[in-house]
Structure 1
Amino acid sequence: MSESRVLIVFFSRTGTTHMLASTLASMLSADVEEICDYTERRGASGYLRCVMDSWRKRPAEIVPAGLDPSQYDLVVVGTPIWAGAVSSPVRAYLLQNRTKFRHIGFFCSLGGLGAEAAFDEMRALAGKAPVAQCKVRAAQVQGVAAASLERLLEPFVGELKRHLAHYQTLEWSC
């Protein structure tokens, strides 16, 4: 039985979602791809662009992905929550790749509310339900040691690993 291939894909404006993605990649021995878009999102004017894109449910114009999600058993997609919704770069990625996901998981970082609505939106954009999902408050990530972040993500990683083990068992028996 071969090892499952896992891809962590994320967008991060402030670095919080990046920290989560890096930790998850280490815990899952996964490849990582950061979504990059062509819009300036730094500073106050960048923040306002994020909010406007979120309200309008507008996908961003993103740099083409370098890794093909169809080559992975599981793709775990991470987004910051913008005004109660998925970020526009992640919205674009999910729309562009919705037919390529075998299995998918979601994670998000947030400062307030909106995780459940964002997960619902991600499910619709991806065209399938996640095998697991995880929301993490930005305050739980900032200034935290790597070991503490791993403990915080252990339940999510455990769910992902259980799904992969079950999936491999089904694939092996067919």
Structure 2
Amino acid sequence: MERIGIFFYSRTGTARATAERLASLSGWPAYEIRDAVPRFGLSGDWRCIVDSLLKRCPDVRYEGPALDSFDHVILIAPVWLRSLAAPMRAFLKMQGRLIKVYSVICVMSGFGGFRAVDDIATLVGSKPRSILLLKQYDVLAEECDASLCRFREQIRAAAPAAWDDPVLPAVD
């Protein structure tokens, strides 16, 4: 039996809602990456903008198990200004090379999901097995269950031997 874990960062709660829903649908545990200094209000918005534009890696807190103890890691990351959210970038810069096999769910208000996936692949050093891009509106309206179920089934169907397959599946 493969050990699968969900790892997410969420500032506004959208990625958290996605992680909680996927955990509920799959039974996989979810672990949160947090900002060392919370991003509240207008100053938090400005920090998000500056961190994204300058590709900074802010201090983050993570208190879960080691990533290399999982056979498959699912990363749920927000997209800020068409790129990977800075706290997830910082987390992956520190621990991304510990990931054996992974898949990605990006949540965004508009565009930039594939650019964020490229950022993740660079930090981890390999391509994700599956990708799911979700719009913030669909998550908040609770209209993403069908996509999450297809994503879950895709992860479950992939045997460890098939993870060496060069084909990169995407859901939706």
Fold-level match, TM-score > 0.5?
Answer: yes
The answer to whether the Cα contact below 8 Å between 2:82 and 2:112 also exists between their aligned partners in 1 is yes
Amino acid in the other structure paired with 1:135: L
- Structure 2 unaligned regions, length at least 5: 164-172
Q: Which one has a larger percent strand, Structure 1 or Structure 2?
A: 2
Q: What TM-score, normalized by structure 1, do the two folds share?
A: 0.87
Show the counterpart of 1:50: 48
User: Tell me, what secondary structure is at the counterpart of 2:128?
Assistant: coil
Q: Distance in 2 between matches of 1:169 and 1:98?
A: 21
**Runs of 5+ consecutive residues of structure 1 not aligned to the other structure:** none
Q: Which amino acid aligns with 1:167?
A: P
Preserved CA contact (<8 Å) 2:32 2:62: no
Q: CA RMSD in A?
A: 1.7
Which amino acid is the alignment partner of residue 148 of structure 2? L
How far apart, in 1, do the equivalents of 2:162 and 2:105 lie? 25
Q: Which of 9, 21, 30 is residue 11 of structure 1 equivalent to?
A: 9
Please name the residue that 1:149 is paired with.
144
C-alpha separation between the residues in 2 aligned to 1:168 and 1:150?
28
Distance 2:109 2:22 in 1: 20
The corresponding residue for 2:157 is 162
**CA radius of gyration, larger in:** 1
Identity within the alignment, %: 28
Give the CA deviation at 1:161. Answer: 1.4
Instruction: Point out 4+ residue stretches in structure 1 off by more than 2 angstroms.
Output: none
Residue 169 of structure 1: how far off its partner (Å): 8.0
Write the deviation string for residues 4-47 of structure 1: whole angstroms up to 9, x where unpaired: 11110001011110011111122222111100111231222211
Q: Aligned partners of 2:63 and 2:97: how far apart in 1?
A: 15
